[in-house]
Amino acid sequence: MHIVITGASRGIGKAIATLFAEKGYALYLTSKTESALQKTAEELAGSYPDLVIRAKAFDLGEAAQAKAFGAWVLAQGILPDVLVNNAGTFQPGNISDEPAGTLESQIAANLYSAYHVTRSLLPAMMKPVAQPSPARHIFNMCSIASLDAYPNGGAYSISKFALHGFSKNLREEMKPHGIKVTAVFPGAVLTDSWGDFDNSSNRIMLPEDIAQLIYAATQLSPQACVEDIVIRPQLGDL
């Protein structure tokens, strides 16, 4: 089984890659920062030396590079079984006063990246197979910001609402092709976006929580699809 993960060098993406490696799957990883990506790939290779682990940096916010990443994956001679569109960035602000260009950069990083990577890989993923795979699956990392507006959400929330729409449309298109599509809506997760947040009280979730849910969704029978995963901290949103 071949797992493609974007935004894989840290946080949720790294947790997803680590869990699938633990389960014995081949990994094809990317993120924007080469040094961080290679560090993650080396750590995984050290822990799981018998696995196929390939990693190459691309800036998926640029359409040409997103398409190049898809071509690079297919050049490995594999059929992607699972695609996790996790790449993205958070830029807080308000529509009324955020810097010019914020919407464009957030849409590029959080929507266009998933759109172009997915389109690059779909022809291969849609090829008929002798036995339907229960794991041919696309995950789009949305956010609770895709569901409700909140203060200081601005362009980020707009971009995540758009990703939710992309995921819903893709779900409908992929039904006849046996490809599952799941939108993931995490609340607060302890990633770099939270800086030096003190989580000693376990107020917010861990990246591993999201990874566990994604892995579980890939293990269902071919006729079962988890369409949406909404997960929040036990005490609710911050």
Where residue 134 falls among pLDDT bands split at 50, 70, 90?
low
Q: 169-226: per-residue pLDDT in tens? A: 999 999 999 999 999 999 999 887 777 788 889 889 999 999 999 999 999 999 999 9
Sequence-separated (6 or more) residues with CB below 8 Å from residue 96? none
> Do 124 and 180 meet the contact criterion of CB atoms below 8 Å apart?
no
The domains of the chain, with CATH numbers, are 2-231 (3.40.50.720)
Q: How far apart are CA 190 and CA 108, in angstroms?
A: 24
Give dist(CA 9, CA 56) in Å, integer: 11
Q: What percent of the chain has pLDDT over 70?
A: 97
User: What confidence category does residue 132 fall into, taking pLDDT thresholds of 50, 70 and 90?
Assistant: low
In angstroms, rounded to a whole number, what is the distance separating the alpha carbons of residues 36 and 3? 19
Structure tokens at 46: 């050290």
Q: What is the C-alpha separation between 238 and 14, in angstroms, rounded?
A: 24
Beta carbons within 10 angstroms of residue 4's beta carbon: 26
**H or E element at residue 26:** strand 26-29
For the stretch 49-90, pLDDT in tens is 999 999 999 999 999 999 999 999 999 999 999 999 999 999
